[in-house]
Amino acid sequence: MRGLQMPSWLEVLAGWVGVYLVRVLQAAIVIVIAYIVNKYVDKAVSLIVKTEEHEFIERFVMFFKAIIYAIAVLMAISFVAAEPQVFVALLLTVGIGIIVMFSDVLRNVGSELYVRNIKAFREGDWIEVDGIQGRVMKMSSLGVVLETLRRERVYVPYSKISHTTVVNRMSTYGLSLKLTVKVPKSYDMSKAREIVVSSLSAVREDLVSEPSLTLRSVTDFYYVFDAILDIMNIGKTESVFERVVLELKSKDPNIDIEF
């Protein structure tokens, strides 16, 4: 009876090379598929995302292509790795860690896509976000920069905008500016209202219609009024605001104005 014949080292090497070549072929197929997919990403994104902001589209496409290539490279490495199971487990752990670390950035990118796609406002519009009113000076890759009537620059991330109420105060007639006027309770209510109405009338020539004035609340020290001014020329917004403030302060320096 003949004994078992051990395979030669050439046979072992040929078997190992054959298996490794299959893995390399699998990795190459993944890379080729990623390349083909990326060739059509531009068209797919342009069909899904309806916006005229080409700079944003190009940036979003580059970001999306980078993700596809990163996934393809990691999958290719997992195919040719000596211990694919160990590599996949390590890759999964690292991937989860990266997602958690950059969760705010990823959420902001998704929010930017949402905000730009719904076209709620554009640069130059006057908007209100969480009670803050200002002109949209810039829509950057990270958020929106507003300039208030007091020349303050306010940065609002897209993730904030997508989860709160945004009021676009632009209309076909101009700008609807909302002011909060606090009149000391040293006056009676009718006198306090008269002071505010007379002050607002000073800018009537720059308004589309009569200013709207409502009493919001009465606190221990103030009558709180909400005034809405429909300004014809948005370029005069700062001027109208300054004139209203001067009129109110001239009647009583203790009157407080918010916007």
Query: CA separation (Å) from 163 to 5, 16, 61, 146, 159?
Result: 72, 56, 24, 17, 7
> So what's the pLDDT on residue 181?
92
Q: Quick: pLDDT tens for 28-67.
A: 888 888 888 878 777 776 666 665 566 666 667 777 777 7
Q: Is 94 helix (H, G, I), strand (E, B) or coil?
A: helix
> So what's the pLDDT on residue 69?
80
Looking at domain 121-168, its CATH architecture is Roll (2.30)
Would you say the CATH fold of 171-258 matches that of 121-168? no
> So what's the pLDDT on residue 1?
47
Is 120 in contact with 166 (CB distance < 8 Å)? yes
Amino acid at 125: D
> So what's the pLDDT on residue 225?
93
> So what's the pLDDT on residue 195?
92
Question: What are the residue ranges in the chain where pLDDT is below 70?
Answer: 1-19, 45-59, 81-91, 94-95, 97-105, 172
Give residue 257's Cα distance to chain centre: 29
Neighbours of 177 (CB within 10 A): 23
Per-domain residue ranges of the chain: 9-101, 121-168, 171-258
CA dihedral for 80, 86, 89, 95, sign (positive or negative): negative
Q: Where are the strands (E) in the chain, listed by range?
A: 126-129, 132-139, 143-147, 153-157, 166-168, 170-171, 174-184, 212-218, 222-231, 256-258
CATH code reported for the domain at 171-258: 3.30.70.1130
